[in-house]
Every structure is written in C-alpha cells, then in structure tokens.
C-alpha cells in the first residue's frame, strides 16, 4: 500500500549545510532502489521531509533517517495511506526555502508535485507543507536537548514503614509513588496504589468479589490507605487515593466514611485528592457528579486519572471539571517523537489552562518525554524516571540535574 510519512527535524549545529548536497545524492540512490520518492525542505534550521512509497520500504528508510546523527528532535507529523504519490518524479530533491521569495515559495514547492493533489489544499499532507513553509507552528518546535543532557540523581529520602504498617489484620496494603515538580524539587503528593497483603495487583484484591461487595471492599481499603499515609505525612502534604466512581454512588454513607477515616488518622480533607478513572466515570455521569459534589463540599479535591485513554474524555470535561487531570501514559509515551501526541497534549494543556485545572503527566519513563512535557508547560510528573512505587513506603526520588556543557 502506498504509504506517506512526513516528519520535521532540527539540523545539528556541527553539520554544515554544504554537506547536504552529497547526503541527498546518496539518499536519492537509496530511495530510487526502494521505489521511494519525496521531497526534503530545509529552512536553515529545520528539515521537513515527505517520503512516499511501499509501506515496508518507507518505514525502513524512515527508521534509518530517525537514527541519523546529523539531525535531532525528529518528530513524525503524518503517516497515512494514499491512492497516488504527491511527489512522484523527484527521487529526493533538496529544496532550500531561503533561496525563494516568501510569497511564492509555497506555490513553487507545490508545483513540484506530480499528482492531482497538486493544488488541493484540503489534502492533509499538503496542509503540513503550508504550515511548515509559512512557519505557523514554530513556537511549538521545542528544541529539547538529548536525553543524556540531564542526570537523574536519587536523593536520600527513601522511607519504608514498619512491615506491619500498624495493622496486621488489614486485607490490603498500599504502595506509594510520589507526584513531583522536578525543577522545583518538590513533592506535590503521594499516590496510594492498592495491593494485596503480599503485594499483588488491585485486580487480585477484587478477584472473586461481585456487585456491591466490590464497592464496599474499595471503600474499606481507604481506611488502610489513610492509616499508612498518616505515617508518611512528613514526606508529603497531600495524598491521592483511587476510588471506583460507583463506590460513591452504590455505598450509602461513603463520603462520611471517608471523612471519618481522614479525621481518625489526623489528616484533613484538603490534603486528600480522590482519583477516578475516566472510562468508568462516563457510564453513569449524572449520579457520579452528584456524589462528587459531596466530596467537594467537604474540601476533598478530585482528579480524573488516565485522561485520554477512555472514549469520551472531552464530553466528560464539558460536563464535569475536576481539580486535576492526569494524562495517560499511552499519550505520554514517545511524545517527543510524535506530532499527533504533541498536538493532543497541547490541546489538553490549553483547555485545562482555560478551566484552571492542573495537569499531571503520568507514566513518564524517558528523559526526552519529561523535557518535552516540561517545555509544553506541564510541571507535575509521576513516573519511573523519577520514582517507582514502593510497598509500604516511598522510594528515593531521582531529581534531574543538567550536566555541565548543556
Ligand atoms: C534530513 C535527512 C534526510 C534524509 N533523507 C534520506 C532519504 O530520503 N533516503 C535515504 O536513504 N536516506 C536519507 N537520509 C540519510 C539516512 O539518514 C542514512 O544516512 C542513509 O539512509 C544511509 O543509511 P545507512 O548508512 O545506515 O545505510 C537523510 C538524512 C537526513 C539527516
């Protein structure tokens, strides 16, 4: 199937534009042998390339290009199938935008097109040309340094609670993972993650339970979470706990139970964030919103977890605004390489800024993901890059420190 890939990238400072001619000659030969065509635009700082051809060949050439050390911050903008090539005759022509008049350059580029798409501006691929040539999105080209520009140095703050956690009879335990502001070196909150007493998953904790019993077990587990968190109070001012949305609806007096346990452990409601998972919320939104009002009235903050992973995230936001949104790992993964993820996360950040909702990025594993998200304006992070969850305690936190020379 005819496949089109478009990406943009940043030329390395050490590479002189004079070597590009030779690079393109080599590329031309390789592309011709693979039946891959396209065009490469250069504006003095950034490359923008369209590659078209059989799926396997285009993917393989793009894989090589991504690893080429002559450029960095390679961001895929477009990957789609098409009935015909847009730049079919060209091999790989290098087109230096600086040599043309600003008002004409887009048309000159498009005139090199070979297909009936030529002047159809509603073709998505050609829209990307227009955006690049007219430098419309330039403020979103974050020039993040390579991942090894930062070191992540664990501090000595690890805490492990006494093995009994004060309650040997409890049917569950919790692992804790910090949510941090890495540049301010601040712990924002600890998230309590449900485990069985021997450290197994929440699914195991709920296994064998049905109907009302699931919600009751969910609520009861928070008693243990608050008791353990009270012992971790010196580490963080705020605690995040997860709750099934329907627990508030199905268990009579659920909010009072939470408030009693919060008070019994010497905590105050303003310290607590209750996290709900988006896809579970949406099925019974009206009832859920009513129950959440009680939490809010008591001073407890509300977060929507795994935002972006469900099927109606934006509808949810239209009807119900939480205090915090946690962006799902699936959207965060490789964000520095993906134009579509970048566009979606920009939109979430802008929307949340207008609604004064805080944004946390969850599941951050790579330094480049963190750097991109930080450049985009996110300040709260959770992920293995900084700290893994620890049963009955909090791990040391690996704070980023920029290496000298960057
Ligand atoms: C901006 C840019 C565009 C490139 N375009 C192509 C291309 O279209 N086709 C190609 O074969 N190589 C292209 N290359 C070069 C490849 O990255 C790589 O050097 C080449 O495929 C040879 O790879 P190899 O030495 O691993 O075989 C490009 C490199 C850069 C920096």
Domains in the chain: ranges and CATH: 2-140 (3.30.70.100), 147-402 (3.20.20.450)
The DSSP bridge partners found for residue 72 are 10
Percent share of the chain, pLDDT over 70: 95
pLDDT per residue as tens digits for the range 103-122 = 899 899 888 888 765 556 57
What are 52-66's pLDDT values in tens digits?
999 999 999 999 999
Angle of CA points 297, 301, 304, to nearest 5°: 125
From 31-35, 40-44, 175-179, 279-283, the region with the lowest mean pLDDT? 279-283
pLDDT tens, residue by residue, 124-145: 998 999 999 998 888 888 888 8
344, 308 in Cβ contact below 8 A? yes
Please give the distance, rounded to the nearest whole angstrom, from the Cα atom of residue 345 to the centre of ligand 1.
30
Residue 161: per-residue pLDDT: 85
**In Å, what is the CA distance from 364 to each residue of 106, 267, 285?**
38, 29, 29
Q: What is the pLDDT of residues 295-323, one digit of tens each?
A: 999 999 999 999 987 765 788 888 889 99
pLDDT band per the 50, 70, 90 thresholds, residue 235: confident
Residues 6 or more apart whose Cβ sits within 8 Å of residue 231: 161, 165, 166
How high is the pLDDT of residue 239? 97
How do 173-181 and 389-391 pair as beta strands? antiparallel
Please name the residue that has the structure tokens 């452990």: 265
Q: How confident is the model at residue 160 (pLDDT cuts 50, 70, 90)?
A: confident
Q: Whose CA is nearest to atom 11 of ligand 1?
A: 27
Pocket of ligand 1 (CB under 6 A): 9, 23, 27, 30-31, 40, 47, 49, 51, 61, 64-65, 68, 70-71, 92
Ligand 1 site-directed mutation target among 31, 45, 65, 132, most atoms within 8 Å of CB: 65
Query: Of all atoms in ligand 1, which is nearest to the CA of residue 9?
Result: 1
Residue 32 has pLDDT above 90, yes or no: yes
Q: What is the mean pLDDT of the chain?
A: 92
Count Cα neighbours of 20 within 13 Å in the Cβ-side half-sphere. 21
Lowest mean pLDDT among 64-73, 139-148, 221-230: 139-148
- Region 94-103: mean pLDDT is 92
In the block, tokens 């350059």 appear at 105
Q: Is the pLDDT of residue 292 over 60?
A: yes
Distance CA 105, CA 133 (A): 8
Asked if 307 contacts 322 with a C-beta cutoff of 8 angstroms, the reply is no
**Which secondary-structure segment (H or E) carries 263?**
helix 254-264
Structure tokens at 366: 């790579």
Which residue's CA is the closest to the ligand 1 atom numbered 21?
64
Q: What pTM was computed for the model?
A: 0.92
Cα(23) to centroid of ligand 1, in Å? 7
pLDDT of 34 over the 80 cut: yes
Quick one: pLDDT at residue 366? 97
Q: What is the pLDDT of residue 361?
A: 98
Mean per-residue pLDDT, 85-112: 89
Pairing of strands 393-394, 389-391: antiparallel
**DSSP bridge pairs for 394:** 159, 389
Ligand 1 atom nearest the C-alpha of 68 is: 17
* Per-residue pLDDT at 104: 92
| Calpha distance 375→33 (Å, rounded) | 40
What phi and psi values does residue 152 have, to the nearest 5 degrees? -115, 105
Q: How far is the CA of 141 from the centre of ligand 1 (A)?
A: 22
- Three-class secondary structure of residue 406 per DSSP: coil
DSSP-assigned letter for residue 338? B
Predicted confidence at residue 121, as pLDDT, reads 59
CB-based contact 104:51 (threshold 8 Å): no
The two three-digit tokens of residue 235, written as one number: 């580490």
Nearest CA to ligand 1 atom 29: 65
Cβ within 8 Å of residue 81, ≥6 positions away: 1, 2, 3, 4
pLDDT at 176 exceeding the cut of 70: yes
């Amino acid at each position: 199937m005819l496949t089109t890939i478009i990406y943009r990238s940043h030329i390395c400072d050490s590479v002189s534009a004079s070597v590009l001619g030779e690079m393109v000659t080599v590329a031309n030969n390789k592309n011709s042998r693979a039946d891959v065509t396209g065009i490469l635009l250069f504006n003095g700082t950034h490359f923008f390339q369209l590659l078209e051809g059989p799926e396997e060949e285009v993917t393989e050439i793009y894989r090589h290009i991504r690893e080429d050390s002559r450029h960095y911050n390679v961001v895929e903008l477009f990957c789609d199938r098409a009935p015909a090539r847009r730049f079919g005759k060209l091999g790989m022509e290098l087109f230096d935008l600086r040599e043309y008049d600003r008002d004409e350059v887009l048309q000159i580029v498009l005139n090199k097109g070979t297909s009936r798409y030529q002047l159809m501006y509603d073709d998505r691929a050609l829209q990307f040309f227009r955006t690049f040539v007219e430098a419309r999105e330039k403020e979103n080209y974050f020039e993040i340094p390579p991942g090894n520009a930062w070191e992540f140095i664990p501090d000595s703050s690890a805490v492990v609670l006494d093995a009994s956690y004060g309650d040997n009879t409890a049917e569950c335990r919790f692992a804790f993972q910090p949510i941090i502001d890495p540049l301010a070196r601040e712990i924002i909150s600890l998230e309590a993650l449900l485990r069985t007493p021997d450290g197994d998953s929440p699914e195991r904790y709920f296994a064998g339970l049905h109907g009302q019993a699931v919600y009751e077990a969910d609520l009861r587990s928070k008693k243990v979470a608050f008791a353990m968190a009270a012992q971790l109070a010196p580490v963080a001012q705020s605690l995040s706990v997860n709750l099934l949305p329907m627990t508030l609806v199905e268990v009579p007096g659920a909010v009072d139970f939470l408030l009693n346990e919060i008070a019994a452990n010497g905590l105050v409601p303003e310290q607590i964030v209750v996290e709900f998972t988006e896809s579970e919320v949406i099925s019974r939104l009206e009832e859920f919103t009513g129950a959440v009002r009680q939490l809010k009235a008591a001073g407890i903050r509300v977060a929507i977890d795994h935002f972006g992973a469900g099927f109606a995230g934006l509808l949810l936001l239209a009807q119900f605004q939480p205090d915090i949104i946690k962006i799902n790992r699936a959207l965060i993964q490789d964000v520095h390489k993906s134009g579509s993820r970048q566009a979606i996360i920009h939109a979430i950040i802008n929307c949340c800024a207008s609604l004064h909702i805080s944004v946390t990025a969850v599941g951050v594993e790579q330094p480049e993901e963190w750097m991109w998200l930080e450049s985009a304006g996110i300040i709260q992070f959770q992920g293995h890059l900084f700290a893994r969850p620890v049963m009955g305690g909090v791990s040391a936190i690996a704070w980023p420190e920029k290496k000298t020379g960057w």
